[in-house]
Amino acid sequence: MGEASSTVESAPEGAAFLQAVTEMARRRPIVTSRAIYNANGLKLLEGGVTVDGSLYDRLVRHRLSSPLDECLDSEPGVDGKVLRAAIECLIDPVGLFAATAPAGRVRRMMLEAVEAIPLPRPVAFQLTLLRANRPDLFDHSLRSALLCAHLVGEAGAPLHDITMAAAAGLLHDLGMLHIDPALLAPGQLLSGDERRPLYVHPLTGSMLIQRFHAYPREVARAVLEHHERLDGSGYPRGLVGDALSPLGRVLSLAELVTAMFDGRRRHPEQRVSLALRMNPRRYDPVLVRSIQRLLRTLPPPADASTVLVEEALHRLRLLSEHALQWHGTLEPLVAESEGDRRAVLLSVDEQVQSLQRMLYNAGVTPDQLERLGQDDTRDPAVRIELWALEQELQWHLRATANQLERRWRNAAAATPLPASLAEWLAQVRAIDQVG
């Protein structure tokens, strides 16, 4: 099943993927399924031999004649039954995902769709690697598969389409295996150059999938688009509106929702609800309504007494101030800029204005923040809402700052950021340290 396509270039190899394979080889057997050659025809490893911890040193200096995942096996590996069993363990503990697959016929259909996902041997190897090295990302991929299947199935799609939607959700982050894991550590603050692999991982994942005829073009395209947004604020291509494919829209929303349940975020259901209200133009409204229906079935939030609402309010005021300060920073720079640099400034200005609209869409204005008193913040629902609002707005403002730095570098590589822009970026990033 799923022979490699001869019309698609080999997926990119690199030191990060070699490092990941070597790491797994230290903990479980990996065997070469065939001989490994470099691009000049020199045999580097025989077929049928067990790979050890020296693999990285032996291969990192060579360009290989075939993608490495086509030359390796690790048994027992991930297959349909493994996927089904793993996803069954993830459904009930989290209310939102239990709601996507209620016990009975619907759950059986969802599990059958996941189990039926085609897994060419190299793809199964990549999933085995993901499960062994990045169990958090493997679980995220399983939840994405389930949510994509739900969103497509709710629209009345046939089982084949539900299965392919689940495949897109399952495989969308395989490109992350080709990123240096040091860049992915929680809380890691990255420079512009260090962020570049993150911005291209959807392309890497799409290239990995395009090699195999088992997946329709729509699946590879959706993987490429899983960080795109309908309003053009996504990446890697900044697609707008109808340029985003139907399955890409599904996966884009599923990525947002499942990312909230990574185990590091508190009150994920409330954060999903708020993110969808704050960003009404970023996601397909029909799909959003489906998620909102699921959220309405969930019980009210647990005790919110541990939420530091005073700290959240302080940060919200700072974030609101920096959004307002942006306009004073922008005006003189636009007047003296032209061409690509002017376009960058105006594009980022649209993003900052979007942030301010998010506050209004959430029902919060700077004046209201100042008027909030102790009595208002005793309500548990209000406490969680304010905390979630601060978390969401901070993420978006930081992403806007990163976008400014990246686009400026691309548009004006030889021109450093003006001092006023650099100062604004520093102030935004300093909010992370505010207690």
- CA contacts within 13 A on the Cβ side of 8: 18
pLDDT at 150: 96
> Does residue 84 fall inside a structural domain?
yes
Average pLDDT over residues 354-358: 75
Q: Do 143 and 206 share a domain, yes or no? A: yes
The model's pTM: 0.79
Yes or no: say if 271 and 391 are a contact pair by the CB < 8 Å rule. yes
Can you tell me the distance from the alpha carbon of 219 to that of 248, in angstroms, rounded to the nearest whole number?
A: 8
Yes or no: say if 239 and 225 are a contact pair by the CB < 8 Å rule. yes
Can you tell me the distance from the alpha carbon of 102 to that of 167, in angstroms, rounded to the nearest whole number?
A: 21
Angle between helices 135-154 and 121-133 (to 10 degrees): 120
Give the percent of the chain with pLDDT over 70: 86
Number of neighbours of residue 31 by Cβ within 10 angstroms: 15
pLDDT at 7: 34
Residue 45 pairs with which residues in a beta bridge?
A: 36
> Does residue 265 fall inside a structural domain?
yes
**C-alpha distances out from residue 363 to 68, 119, 267, 276, 352, Å:** 52, 46, 19, 13, 17
> Does residue 6 fall inside a structural domain?
no
Is the previous residue joined to 76 through a cis bond, with omega within 30 degrees of 0?
yes
Q: Do 392 and 336 share a domain, yes or no? A: yes
Q: What is the pLDDT of residues 76-122, one digit of tens each?
A: 999 999 999 999 999 999 999 999 999 999 999 999 999 999 999 99
Q: Do 286 and 148 share a domain, yes or no? A: yes
Q: Give the number of domains in the chain.
A: 3
Mark which of 28, 52, 73 sits at the end of a domain.
73
Q: Do 109 and 235 share a domain, yes or no? A: yes
Q: Pick left, alpha or beta for residue 209 (phi over 0 → left; psi -120 to 50 → alpha; otherwise beta).
A: alpha
Give the pLDDT band (50/70/90) at residue 126.
very high
Please say whether the dihedral angle defined by the alpha carbons of residues 6, 9, 15 and 19, taken in this order, is positive or negative: negative
Q: Do 256 and 329 share a domain, yes or no? A: no
Q: Do 86 and 219 share a domain, yes or no? A: yes
Q: What is the pLDDT of residues 408-427, one digit of tens each?
A: 877 766 677 888 888 888 88
> Does residue 2 fall inside a structural domain?
no
Residues sharing a CB contact under 8 Å with residue 350, sequence separation 6 or more, in sequence order: none
Nearest CA among 181, 386, 421 for reference residue 301: 386
The least confident of 87-91, 182-186, 405-409 is 182-186
Domain enclosing residue 36, as ranges: 15-73
The least confident of 34-38, 84-88, 241-245, 370-374 is 370-374
329-350: b (≥16 Cβ within 10 Å) or e? bbeeeeeebeeebeebbebbbe
Can you tell me the distance from the alpha carbon of 361 to that of 331, in angstroms, rounded to the nearest whole number?
A: 26
Mark which of 29, 51, 73 sits at the end of a domain.
73
Per-residue pLDDT for 250 more than 80? yes
Q: Do 85 and 210 share a domain, yes or no? A: yes
Give the percent of the chain with pLDDT over 90: 48
> Does residue 9 fall inside a structural domain?
no
Radius of gyration of the chain, Cα coordinates, nearest whole angstrom: 23
> Does residue 10 fall inside a structural domain?
no
Per-residue pLDDT for 5 more than 70? no
Can you tell me the distance from the alpha carbon of 357 to that of 278, in angstroms, rounded to the nearest whole number?
A: 8
Per-residue pLDDT for 210 more than 70? yes
Most confident of 50-64, 178-192, 409-423: 50-64
Q: Hey, what are 207's tokens? A: 């290239």
Yes or no: say if 126 and 74 are a contact pair by the CB < 8 Å rule. no
Most confident of 7-11, 91-95, 129-133: 129-133
Residues belonging to the chain: 435
Q: What is the pLDDT of residues 134-174, one digit of tens each?
A: 999 999 999 999 999 999 999 899 999 999 999 999 999 99
Q: Do 208 and 342 share a domain, yes or no? A: no
Give the pLDDT band (50/70/90) at residue 264.
confident
- Mean pLDDT value across the chain: 85
Task: Please give the residue that has the higher pLDDT: either 179 or 196.
Answer: 179
Most confident of 254-268, 297-311, 386-400: 254-268
Q: Do 85 and 213 share a domain, yes or no? A: yes
Q: Do 63 and 88 share a domain, yes or no? A: no
Number of neighbours of residue 14 by Cβ within 10 angstroms: 15
Please say whether the dihedral angle defined by the alpha carbons of residues 197, 201, 207 and 212, taken in this order, is positive or negative: positive
Task: Please give the residue that has the higher pLDDT: either 185 or 232.
Answer: 232
Give the pLDDT band (50/70/90) at residue 365.
low
Mark which of 275, 296, 317 sits at the end of a domain.
296
Q: Do 124 and 220 share a domain, yes or no? A: yes
> Does residue 8 fall inside a structural domain?
no
pLDDT at 379: 64
Distance of CA 265 to the CA centre of its chain: 15
Q: Do 63 and 128 share a domain, yes or no? A: no
> What CATH number does the domain containing 134 carry?
1.10.3210.10
> Does residue 301 fall inside a structural domain?
no
